[in-house]
Amino acid sequence: MHMSRYIPDAIKRKLLEETQFRCAFCLDSIEHIFDDSNFFHFAENAHIQPHNESLDNSFENLICLCPTCHKKFDKNPDRDNSVSRLKALKAHWFVASGNYSKLELDCLFDLFRYNPRPWILTYQFQNSERGKFSSLCFSVPTKQGYLFQNLITNRLVDCVEQKGAFSGNSLTFGSNLPAENTLLILLTEKGKNFCKKFVS
């Protein structure tokens, strides 16, 4: 093993894929800006076991973080705590990226962070038990539900089928609308707990 901090491109790419182009901790998307002459990306490859101790640049000892989170972990005076948190994050991402598509994770984390993707129609779902608008959901045509099948099967989200299609941001019914049912997809407690493993 050599002293260099050199990380091969193939490993850098694999690290970005592992977290679906997000910071492993805060879940922010990693920004990419391309302006003809410059390509910036703000993904940082953080060492789980610090490089100066381990000299380990393997995929297994690296994780993708944004610069802000990277600093937080590096500056944590409790080194063991940092190492064990990063190890746990690596394990969570192994499960997440092994079981869910990028689309599923993007939508799941957006629900968790109340930051819906603009191309998915969203509205405040009325929780009938509590009688108030309490959780955010998004909707997709029922026939596209298979795209979220792994989230549904593992109960990270619940879905409710509605007759009718979305128009604007409300569910409308009527014979003039396409005969297409809508699936409302909501985050479950299990889904929330899944997401919390990353950010807490």
- Interacting residue ranges for Zn ion, rule: CB under 5 A: 23, 25-26, 66, 69
Closest approach of Zn ion to the CB of residue 152, in Å: 28
The CA-atom distances, in angstroms, between 14 and each of 9, 34, 46, 99 are 9, 20, 13, 16
Q: Going by DSSP bridges, is the β-strand pair 39-41/122-127 parallel, antiparallel, or unpaired? A: unpaired
Q: Which is nearer to Zn ion, 26 or 120 (CB)?
A: 26
Q: What are phi and psi of 91, to 5 degrees?
A: -65, -40
What CA–CA distance (Å, rounded) separates 18 from 8?
16
Closest approach of Zn ion to the CB of residue 102, in Å: 18
Closest approach of Zn ion to the CB of residue 100, in Å: 20
Q: Which is nearer to Zn ion, 23 or 185 (CB)?
A: 23
Q: Which is nearer to Zn ion, 2 or 75 (CB)?
A: 75
Q: Which is nearer to Zn ion, 69 or 96 (CB)?
A: 69
Closest approach of Zn ion to the CB of residue 26, in Å: 3
Q: 113-122 in b/e burial notation, b at 16+ Cβ within 10 A?
A: eeebeeebbb
Residue type, 197: K
